Amino acid sequence: MTSSPQYLTGDAAALNSFIDKFDTFLFDCDGVLWSGDHVFPGTADTLEFLRSRGKQVVFVTNNSTKSRADYKKKLDALGVPSNVEEIFSSSYSASIYISRILELPPNKRKVFAIGETGMEQELRNENIPFIGGTDPAFRRDFRPEDYKLIADGDPSIIDPEIGVVLVGLDFHYNYLKICLAFHYIRRGAVFLATNIDSTLPNQGSLFPGAGSMSAALIMMLGQEPTALGKPSQAMMDAVEGKFHFDRSRACMVGDRTNTDIRFGIEGKLGGTLAVLSGVSTKDDILHGDVRPAAYLDTLSDLLGAKQ
Amino acid sequence: MTSSPQYLTGDAAALNSFIDKFDTFLFDCDGVLWSGDHVFPGTADTLEFLRSRGKQVVFVTNNSTKSRADYKKKLDALGVPSNVEEIFSSSYSASIYISRILELPPNKRKVFAIGETGMEQELRNENIPFIGGTDPAFRRDFRPEDYKLIADGDPSIIDPEIGVVLVGLDFHYNYLKICLAFHYIRRGAVFLATNIDSTLPNQGSLFPGAGSMSAALIMMLGQEPTALGKPSQAMMDAVEGKFHFDRSRACMVGDRTNTDIRFGIEGKLGGTLAVLSGVSTKDDILHGDVRPAAYLDTLSDLLGAKQ
């Protein structure tokens, strides 16, 4: 059963009624607040307006290479007012999931990290011990003697305290890292991915995304990772683990029905709001398999509620 | 319809009758001729016996990192008599397939190679132009400026003559190579894999195999490569392209029903012969989905035909 999404643009009464239903707004960023390096007109005013009505604002991004501090810099540079505590990235989501939701045995609390500095910063912020990441020791060539050392679980190369393998976008992905991740998971480590987007948009084209970093492991293991980005509900659990919001009074705002809107619906949020400034079209929104509760031409149409 | 495989060990008449049906024997190696570095007793005598009866012997291996010359050295070191022309590896198979079976336009005859020296040697032997492989220029870190250059198809980084992407086991696999392979295939290059074995056995354990090198591309593209190793029939076509044998008078010998025996059956060879010295068990052979025409305890049981 899917109902017809309500069009709110230009209808002050409907906008006010919609806004009043929620205490928390979760925002996808690219396609909603900006596109690439171009901020949509009215983005900053709209966020200020929602805050002035007492709404909690949360920025939810699958970007795994940036820490929240990095992402805050990006928001600042684009003139979007925010504070670090409002930002929820997939590396942060993964760190919250590891520290607050996974119950690891005391001798298995270390993470083998495939990722960049953003992931490392978020693991450190949650006091999670890890190896890998940007450590040059893992950016070396594979050596013939590694086969036996890894097969034997030699402590010179296999850390017995690894309980989690966390895979995100890593521009220094290599054979050694795939080998180690595979062996840790076979020895019982939990297989997590920051997100499973196979591609990363850039320069109007596509490049390998965080999901493609997990692909070899998925093929070798015959096992999917628990993903911590949208639309995975593990990310929603992590958001809730931090903000303790009332799901029935929260609304997910996004431009893509299959990730953002799905994320909100499967998370049983009180509402979902699509905008037409990004990937999904009006036809997707009105006739697709996944439909939001309401939609706007562009986010700043919310300012119509002030009139 | 599957019939019951004939047990030949110790039955001289049945052995002679079986051998007489074939002019060509295709051999899987590991598990049939040897296991790891241990050659099975009687391997050399058995091959000599078949040759003395006028049989063509072909060694078929999915190993993509070794050229036929490299593999010949391995056979020599293990005391298995052979000559280079009898060896058929997946990199050689891929080179034959590219040069003799694929019909590439004149301006699209270059290969982007993900693989090691064995692949390079076989491409050179077939006079196939290629880039990539072990060239250090492709073993560098990805740079931020690469996004735009690749997206724009800049000739400083995208070679317009690439018509094939060939993916094999590459111990120097990296982000740049995945990006380039993805963009070449999106621009129309044929997607080939030497083989799709996701893992590589070594030291009694498993490591990433050639198939895992294709996994990210498969996920990003939503497209499978044409594989040139067993059990892919593209490999059988390549074997036939070289040896011009009569399939009805050829027999595939192997230890694994799901790859070796399947390879022979799907290739419509006159016969298939399993041995119990490797992976598949007697139960697999007698009751599995894929069953050989005949089986032996071990390859040297063929010598019982001399009595």
The tokens for B226 are 């044409």
pLDDT digits (tens, 9 = 90+) for A60-113: 999 888 999 999 999 999 999 999 999 999 999 999 999 988 999 999 999 999
Buried b (16+ CB within 10 A) or exposed e, A172-185: bbbbbbbbbbbbbb
A215 and B216 within 8 Å at the Cβ level: the answer is yes
Residue B174 Cα, gap to closest chain A Cα (Å): 5
pLDDT digits (tens, 9 = 90+) for B92-147: 999 999 998 899 999 999 999 999 999 999 999 999 999 999 999 999 999 999 99
Residue A207 half-sphere exposure, CB side, CA atoms within 13 Å? Answer: 24
CA-angle at A90, arms to A85 and A91, nearest 5°:
85
DSSP string, A128-181: --EEETT-GGGSSPP-HHHHHHHHTT-TTT--TTEEEEEE---TT--HHHHHHH
A178 and B147 within 8 Å at the Cβ level: the answer is no
Cα–Cα separations (whole angstroms), residue A291 to A5, A28, A257, A301 = 7, 16, 7, 19
Q: Which residues of B touch A179 (CB under 8 A)?
A: 207-208
Question: By the 8 A CB rule, do A65 and A95 touch?
Answer: no
B230 labeled part of a ligand binding site = yes
Closest residue in A to B176 (Cα) is A171
Q: Verify whether residue A28 is a known catalytic residue.
A: yes
Helices marked H in chain A — which ranges? 12-20, 43-52, 68-77, 90-96, 117-125, 144-151, 175-186, 210-221, 233-243, 262-266, 282-287
Cα–Cα separations (whole angstroms), residue B295 to A137, A296, B20, B46 = 49, 69, 16, 15
The tokens for A250 are 């929260």
Out of A172, A182, A218, closest to residue B208 by CB: A182
- Please measure the distance between the N-terminal and C-terminal CA atoms of chain A and give it in whole angstroms: 35
Please report the ipTM that was assigned to this predicted complex.
0.88
Closest residue in A to B148 (Cα) is A203
The tokens for A86 are 């409002």
DSSP string, B276-291: SSSSS-HHHHHHSSS-
Question: By the 8 A CB rule, do A65 and A123 touch?
Answer: no
Q: Which domains does chain B have, with CATH numbers?
A: 6-62+231-306 (3.40.50.1000), 104-227 (3.40.50.1000)
Residue A187 Cα, gap to closest chain B Cα (Å): 12
Question: By the 8 A CB rule, do B210 and B66 touch?
Answer: no
Q: How confident is the model at residue A1 (pLDDT cuts 50, 70, 90)?
A: very low
Q: Verify whether residue B28 is a known catalytic residue.
A: yes
**How much is the pTM?**
0.89
Out of A142, A175, A208, closest to residue B216 by CB: A208
Say which amino acid occupies B290.
V
Cα–Cα separations (whole angstroms), residue B153 to B136, B160, B210 = 21, 8, 27
Out of B148, B203, B213, closest to residue A203 by CB: B148
Query: What is the pLDDT averaged over residues B30-51?
Result: 92
Catalytic annotation, pick one of A28, A197, A260, A301: A28
**A187 CB within 8 Å of a chain B CB:** no
Element (H, E) at B294: strand B294-296
**B179 CB within 8 Å of a chain A CB:** yes
**B72 CB within 8 Å of a chain A CB:** no
